[in-house]
Amino acid sequence: MKKIVYPMLLSAVLLTACSKKEENKIQEPMTDPPVESVNNAPQTTAEDVATVPSFKYAEADQFAQEYSKFVSEFKTATANNDKEALKTLGPKLNEYQKRGVELAKRVPQDEAVAFQDFLNKLESYIK
């Protein structure tokens, strides 16, 4: 009986001792933490908006041309703080965003990633 009890007690003591070492281990702070800065954000220009990729899917290509033109008008109105233009462009912005989401679902698989990247790029110009 002693042959069974003593090894079990010894293994239990060893297991608890090992697990306590891991629990009490102090985590050291990062020596070089990553820093995010808004100042390093890439600046967008009207020329970037003007470069529109062409898509094989005709509806996506037409939408890309229209939406790119709209975004450049929206950026111009925002930069000039033209409140009248922003009143008319605001509802159109929501319409274009909805159309873009719906169209992204219908774009063929081989162009879906490029189309989504294009939409994301234009969205970043708006913000």
Widest CA span of the chain, in angstroms?
Answer: 93
Range of the domain at 113: 44-126
Instruction: Give the residue, 24 or 29, on which the prediction is more confident.
Output: 29
Q: pLDDT value at position 69?
A: 92
Is position 118 within any domain? yes
Is position 27 within any domain? no
Nearest residue to 100 via CA among 55, 41, 51, 50: 55
Q: pLDDT value at position 46?
A: 46
Is position 58 within any domain? yes
Q: Are 98 and 43 in contact (CB under 8 A)?
A: no
Half-sphere exposure of 34 (CA within 13 A, CB side): 1
Return d(Cα 122, Cα 96) in angstroms, integer: 11
Give the DSSP letter string of 78-122.
HHTT-HHHHHHHHHHHHHHHHHHHHHHHHS-HHHHHHHHHHHHHH
Write out pLDDT tens, residues 98-124.
999 999 899 888 888 888 998 888 888
Is position 74 within any domain? yes
Q: How many domains does the chain have?
A: 1
Is position 12 within any domain? no
Q: Is pLDDT of 41 > 50?
A: no
Is position 35 within any domain? no
120: number of Cβ within 10 Å? 10
Half-sphere exposure of 101 (CA within 13 A, CB side): 6
Least confident of 7-16, 32-41, 78-87: 32-41
